[in-house]
Every structure is written in C-alpha cells, then in structure tokens.
Amino acid sequence: MRVAEVRRNRPAPSKETVRAALRPVVIEPVSTDLPPETWVQFSRIRQAFLDALPIAAAIISERDGRAAIDECNDRFVALDTYRPTNRPLSITGAAPVAEHLALFFDRYRAASGLPDNMLFEWRDGDDVSGRHFNVTIAPLKPIDGQPPRCLLTLVDRTTEIENARSLRAELLHDSLTGLPNRSAFAEAVDEVVATVDSAVHHAVLLVDLSRFSRINESLGGVAGDEVIITVARRLISTLRAGDLLARVGGDEFGILLRLANGHEDAAAAARRIQSVLSAPFRLARFEVGLECAIGCALIGDESGSGEELVRNAQFALKRAKTTGRVEVHHSGEAACARYKLDLETELRRAIDVGDLRLAYQPIIDLATNRISGFEALSRWAHPTRGNIDPGEFIPVAEEAGLIVPLGRWALDTALSTLARWDALAGGPVPLTMSVNVSAIQLARDDVPGVIAAALATHGIDGARLTIELTESAIVQDPERTTRALQALKGLNVRVAMDDFGTGYSSLSYLRKLPIDNLKIDRSFVSGMLQDRDKVAIVRAVLSLADALGKTTTAEGVETIELSQTLAALGCSHGQGYYYAAPLEADAALAYWQAKLG
C-alpha cells in the first residue's frame, strides 16, 4: 500500500469531537448590541451556508493576533490537518496556510477597503504522498466591533495531480522494457548538462540493433519483443554506478554514461556493449545473432540541450552504421546537417524553377578518334552559392527523394537536346546520349516507363540512349534491377556500368544482366602510367569486358599518353579533359561539328 493510501485510510477524528471543539469560540460576540440569541441564529445560518458548499470552507477571524476558525463545514473538518489545539483555535499542521492568513490579516488592516483575494497552492505532506490544494482566502465584510474575517476555501486537486503524474510517468517510460523512453532520456541528459561540472564528464551513447527489423519480420513481433527485453537486460549488465539506460526507439537504446576516467570510459563501455550483444540470442527454435552500431556524443563545456546531444549522437550513429566502427560526434556535424537541409530546400526549388542545366562531355571512340556520343552531367548554378558540384547535390537529392524528379528532368532534357541537334543538322546525328540514373531512382521510379515516354516524346530511337548505372543498383535490389534492365533492352536502350571497379559487382550478375559497357573508374585511370597496380586493374577489367563481350570506356583521360596507352590496351572508348570538359549544349554540338571537319 502506498503512503498516500495509508494516510487517507487512517480513521479521521470523529466529526463531533472536532466540531465540538471548534464550535464554542464562534458564537461569542466580542462586542455588539445584538442579543446572544441573534448571534446563535447568525451562526446557524452561516453554518448552513458553509455546509452547502462543495469544497472545504471555513470562516476565519483574527483573534489575539492569530487566525482562528469561527465556522467550518464538514469537508473542512475532514481535512484532518486542522486540529484544535487551544482556544481560540489555531490552525496547526498547515504552516503555509497560517502564514498566508497572517499576511492576509496584515493587508486587511492596512487596506482602506477590503483587500484582494489571496490565491495559492498548498501541498499538505510530501511530494509523493501529500495532498494538493488550491487555496483561496477571500475577505468578508467586517462587522462593527468584530475582528477582521475571511472565507478560507480549499479545493482538493490531489487526484488530478496524481493522474497527471502517472500519465507523465507512462509517457516517460517504455512499456515493454520499463526503461525510460526517449523524452525521459533527453530530460535526464538535460539535467546532467545543466549541472555539468568540469571534473565529471558524461557521454551519450546510442546503440542501434542492426538487422533487428529482419527478426521482427521473419519471426514475428513476440520474438522481436523478447529480443528487445534480452538486449535491455544485457545492456543493464554493462552499466556502472551513475549510468542510465533508456529505450529511445524501436531498436535503439540510449545510455547516459558517467565518465570517471575521461573519454577512455566511453570506449570501454562501447566494447562492453559490443561484447554482451555478440552472444547469440536464443528464440524458441532459433538462435540469432545481432550486431549493433554505436554512436557517441560527449557532454562537455559547449554542450547544447539534451535533445541536441541525443541528435548529435544520432549523427555519429548514422556514420557508425556505414563504417561499422564506434563513431564519436564532431561539432561540425550539426552545421553540416543543417547545410544539407538548406541545400535540399533550395534544390527542390531549383528543380521546380528550372535552375538546373545539363553539360555534355564527349565520349571518344579510341579506335577511330571520333566522338561517339556525349554524357549528360547535371549542373546547378546557385544564385548565391555559385556552382554547386553534382558530387554534393546528387547525394542530397538521393537522400531527400528529389532524385526521382531530377532524374526524370535529366532524361527528358538530354533527349530534347539530342532532338534539337538532329533538327539543327537536318537529320539524326550519329551520336549517342548517356544519362546517369541513380540506383535510388531505379528503385523508386518506373525508369523503363519514363524512358519509353521520353523517347517517344522526342522521337529518339532507343539505340541512341545509354543509361549509366552504378554497381550499387545491382547490390541493392538485384531482381528489380534485372527486370528494369530487361525492359530497357526491349527499348534497345544501352546500359553502362558506371564507376566500374569501385563497387561490389558479382561476376554472375555481370554475366547475366544485359550490360553493354563498363566505365572504368577515374581513380584507376588517372595516374595509371605511374602505378603498376592501376595498370594491372585496368588490364583485368579490359580482359573481363572482352570475355563478357562488353565495350569499355575509360573515365578521366587527361593526357595524350593515357589516351594512347588505353587504345593500345584495347579500351574501346575514352572520356576526359584531354578531349574536352563537359560543355554547354551548343558548344558540344559545335565541338562535334569541328571534329568532323
């Protein structure tokens, strides 16, 4: 039984006893012309009035410099804090109320008219088990020759406050593990930040369970819950005095760490966590392994709010998910994230208002030294920031889902340029157009459908279009990519594997998928002449392409020597600054025409 219940269940002093003790004082007129019987009448009427009130109420007057109860109702008696001690009755066990009454009577005497009502909150007992009241002291008109009087009323708000408190407790706890949740965790971090003392440091660690959603999906929510509870238990076992564990997300835990020995403690905690989570989890018939990613933010002199610190740890966690290492947040990251967010907003606008352009870089057939086509590359001339590199805005577009409209725009614009060249030349020019398609666009958009429509709109034969895809498209969703590539084959569209050699390509996919061309990544080509390893890689790619019947394009050809060497090695195409940098549409056409002549 809770303390509050004990208190409430204690038998109250009998009302008769209390009332008998309270009564006598009231009816004695101090000085009045009225006969005592009239006072008795008055007193009865007042009593009836007070008894009719739905809240605890008493008429209090000041006698001999103390607040004394003249009349009170049953509800007031039931409060049991007000107990008669001596005569005239004083209010005991309610020091704040007595103090307010004393203050009130001082004002009463000083005021020319009646003083204002006095309102305050009063807690009777301790924070957990006590009762809460809204108290009002309202002046009553003085009666000639009588001391100042007031009406004291108390509204019991205990239930309301307790409900709010338990609701809050519920809101601050995760019901599955009973651990504090994200809000409670941020509050706890806030508290530490507020009282940060340079001698003791703290860190926020976030632990994310990789592959947890797979367990949920394959074994069901109950198994998932079981894993979460086990993880919570194991994590608790790694805690030291002063540490706090919370469940901050579905498969994410937060630990507020006290660093007694500086930053090394955070690293040690991370190792303990990895070690307890590395043991397999037994679920009915299965044994599953879990891996975790850990991000850390240190609480130091310039820490922000609790929420901000948790967010910082999340930046680090995000990085940890790709690097596989424990990552610690660095102060520039938040600014970087904000910049990205700005860029996202501005990019959305740029796509809408047409601030993006395409530049066209020639691709040379090394056997004939003629231009076989152009690669369309996006350009963003930002009104205030200047030219922004695609290496910067393409990843932002991919993250924000803007790559779908951007990719559609690039396809449409590139084909419309090719159609315009045809029109200017008075017939189809013998050029292909290569357009980059992001793996994310391939996964989200109906790329073959979009391409079919664009080809039809601009009257371009599919064979004149090449799609450049990176290996990540195959890795992410091999089936979907296979279907998309087969659909492209149906349109006669060619496919090039971009940045070849930098990603992870399974040879079997390379053989199975309808890929026509391998673009050897610039990192292998540039500096190749000075580096035997690079030459070996380029040779290997060339012979692989040869064996699989695919053409090759070397990226980043910056010198004549490279161009000649690549041609000698059997590379079919080259692209790079040695031939030309990416050009405006008109300049690109002029470049091609000049080369013809």
Give the binding site for ligand C2E (CB under 6 A): 361, 377-378, 389-391, 394, 407, 410, 436-438, 468, 498-499, 522, 555-558, 575-577, 582
The interface region with Ca ion, picked from 139-147, 342-350, 355-363, 465-473 by CB under 5 A, is 465-473
Nearest approach, Cβ of residue 540 and ligand C2E (Å): 20
Nearest approach, Cβ of residue 451 and ligand C2E (Å): 14
61 binds, among Ca ion, ligand C2E, none (CB under 5 to 8 A by kind): none
Nearest approach, Cβ of residue 415 and ligand C2E (Å): 13
Residue nearest ligand C2E (C-beta atom):
576
Q: How many residues bind Ca ion (CB under 5 A)?
A: 5
Give the residue with the Cβ less far from ligand C2E, 43 or 575.
575
Is the separation of the CB atoms in 208 and 321 below 8 Å?
yes
Query: Whose CA is closest to 378, among 370, 367, 389?
Result: 389
438 binds, among ligand C2E, Ca ion, none (CB under 5 to 8 A by kind): ligand C2E
556 binds, among ligand C2E, Ca ion, none (CB under 5 to 8 A by kind): ligand C2E
Half-sphere exposure (Cβ direction) of 238: Cα atoms closer than 13 Å:
26
Give the residue with the Cβ less far from Ca ion, 7 or 522.
522
Please identify which residue in the block is written with the tokens 């309808």: 514
Give the residue with the Cβ less far from ligand C2E, 157 or 522.
522
576 binds, among ligand C2E, Ca ion, none (CB under 5 to 8 A by kind): ligand C2E
391 binds, among Ca ion, ligand C2E, none (CB under 5 to 8 A by kind): ligand C2E
The interface region with Ca ion, picked from 77-85, 180-188, 467-475, 478-486 by CB under 5 A, is 467-475
Amino acid at 414: A
Helix/strand/coil percent split, the chain, to 5:
50, 25, 30
Give the residue with the Cβ less far from ligand C2E, 150 or 402.
402
Residue 572 interacts with Ca ion (CB under 5 A): yes or no: no
Among 208, 327, 445, 498, binds Ca ion (CB under 5 A): 498
Distance CA 3, CA 493 (A): 78
Nearest approach, Cβ of residue 529 and Ca ion (Å): 20
Residue 552 neighbours by CB under 8 Å, 6+ apart:
517, 518, 519, 520, 541, 542, 545, 571, 572, 573
Give the residue with the Cβ less far from ligand C2E, 129 or 523.
523
Is the separation of the CB atoms in 206 and 295 below 8 Å?
yes
Query: Whose CA is closest to 254, among 146, 333, 177, 162?
Result: 177
Give the gyration radius of the chain's Cα atoms: 40
Residue 158 neighbours by CB under 8 Å, 6+ apart:
4, 130, 131, 132
In sign, the C-alpha dihedral spanning 400, 335, 302, 320 is: positive
Give the residue with the Cβ less far from Ca ion, 249 or 503.
503
Nearest approach, Cβ of residue 588 and ligand C2E (Å): 13
Provide the 3-class DSSP secondary structure of residue 99.
helix
Residue 81 neighbours by CB under 8 Å, 6+ apart:
92, 93, 94, 124
Residues in contact with Ca ion by the rule CB under 5 A: 436, 468, 498-499, 555
